[in-house]
């Protein structure tokens, strides 16, 4: 079994990671709407450092299929369990209703891993996309899905629901998968990303990694090259931040200048857009990232 790097003390943030908090008024209103519809967000469950900023702008990333995951990724603050309830068939409509009340024209959906389900929750994802489309045909939808254990039928079910952007994160370099994503497979994730384009070439594909887990800059570049070889359009790179002392250590803090180097590498490789910075997350300012990559006319809107 791989040894997970863990220290007994929190690492201090460098000066470039410190920032002022967003105003909390609108954040509280967003939180109230989410509570009223009994919805889960990855912003809260994964202890995202951008939560208050996004909530203050009426933005949230909806996390489908419950609050617990069947996998044990060492970077993630979502709890792990195999004793999970059946899917709530009312959730897709509740998401659509909440999106309407929040006034969102761009929605990001993600989920926990549900390896206990035969299709990994693919139909539930598709039903949520369909509910959003029915409520607002002109809205834009980005999804961030698990790997469905490589199930091609599950992937096709989700792709056929016609999201505008399909995101699946590689999360880290292949050398660190054993400690960071023990139930995942690097090549399986790359194959999923390329298969999206084979099913529907009109969908924008997106993937991201965290840095600070023990990778080298050369390894970051190699992963970016693998993304492009597998037809990924949009790349995100952000600093890993440790949720608790139980999680993987922060091995290094990457300085802002190196994030700019990553961005230039990506531009040279031909990505449509590269979001690279200390606080970048896969769904952080996702609408602005997509607009940086394309125009709404290109999306058929």
Q: Is residue 17 part of a domain?
A: no
Higher pLDDT, 46 or 80: 80
Q: Is residue 199 part of a domain?
A: yes
CATH of the domain at 131: 3.20.20.70
pTM of the model: 0.89
Nearest to 65 by CA among 80, 87, 43: 87
pLDDT in tens, 94-113: 999 999 998 888 899 999 99
pLDDT in tens, 213-261: 999 999 999 999 999 999 999 999 999 998 888 999 999 999 999 999 9
Any idea of the CA torsion for 263, 268, 274, 276, to the nearest 10 degrees? Answer: -10
Length of the chain: 301
Q: What domain range is 255 assigned to?
A: 22-293
| Collapsed DSSP state (helix, strand, coil) of residue 248 | coil
Q: Is residue 133 part of a domain?
A: yes
Q: Is residue 10 part of a domain?
A: no
Q: Is residue 135 part of a domain?
A: yes
Q: Is residue 176 part of a domain?
A: yes
Q: What is the mean pLDDT of the chain?
A: 87
H/E segment holding residue 256:
helix 256-269
pLDDT in tens, 27-59: 667 778 888 988 877 545 444 454 455 554 455
Q: Is residue 166 part of a domain?
A: yes
Percent of residues, the chain, with pLDDT higher than 70? 82
Can you give the pLDDT at residue 297?
47
Both tokens assigned to 296: 């709404």
DSSP 119-172: TTTHHHHHHHHHHHHHH-TT-EEEEE---GGG-HHHHHHHHTT--SEEE---BS
Res 299 pLDDT > 90: no
Q: How many domains does the chain have?
A: 1
Q: Is residue 8 part of a domain?
A: no
Angstrom distance (rounded) from CA 269 to CA 202: 20
Can you give the pLDDT at residue 45?
40
């Amino acid at each position: 079994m791989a040894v997970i790097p863990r220290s007994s003390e929190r690492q201090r943030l460098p000066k470039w990671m410190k920032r002022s908090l967003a105003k909390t008024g609108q954040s509280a209103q967003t939180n109230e709407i989410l509570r009223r519809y009994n919805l889960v967000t990855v912003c809260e469950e994964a202890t995202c450092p951008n939560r208050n900023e996004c909530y203050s702008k009426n933005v949230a990333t909806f996390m489908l299929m419950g609050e617990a995951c069947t996998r044990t990724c060492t970077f993630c603050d979502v709890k792990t369990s195999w004793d999970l309830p059946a899917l709530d068939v009312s959730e897709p409509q509740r998401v659509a209703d909440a999106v309407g009340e929040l006034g969102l024209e761009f929605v990001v959906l993600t989920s926990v891993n549900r390896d206990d389900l035969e299709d990994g929750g693919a139909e539930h994802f598709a039903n949520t996309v369909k509910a959003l489309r029915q409520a607002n045909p002109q809205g834009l939808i980005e999804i961030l899905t698990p790997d469905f254990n490589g199930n091609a039928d599950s992937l096709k079910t989700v792709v056929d629901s016609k999201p505008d952007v399909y995101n699946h994160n590689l999360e880290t370099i292949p050398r660190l998968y054993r400690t960071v994503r023990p139930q995942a497979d690097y090549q399986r994730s790359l194959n999923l990303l390329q298969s999206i384009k084979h099913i529907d070439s009109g969908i924008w594909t997106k993937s991201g990694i965290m840095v600070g887990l023990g990778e080298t800059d050369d390894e970051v570049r190699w992963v970016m090259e693998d993304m492009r070889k597998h037809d990924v359009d949009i790349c995100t790179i952000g600093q890993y931040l440790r949720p608790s002392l139980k999680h993987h250590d922060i091995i290094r803090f990457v300085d802002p200048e190196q994030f700019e180097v990553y961005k230039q590498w990506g531009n040279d490789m031909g990505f449509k857009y590269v979001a690279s910075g200390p606080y970048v997350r896969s769904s952080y300012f996702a609408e602005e990232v997509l607009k940086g990559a394309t125009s709404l006319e290109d999306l058929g809107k």
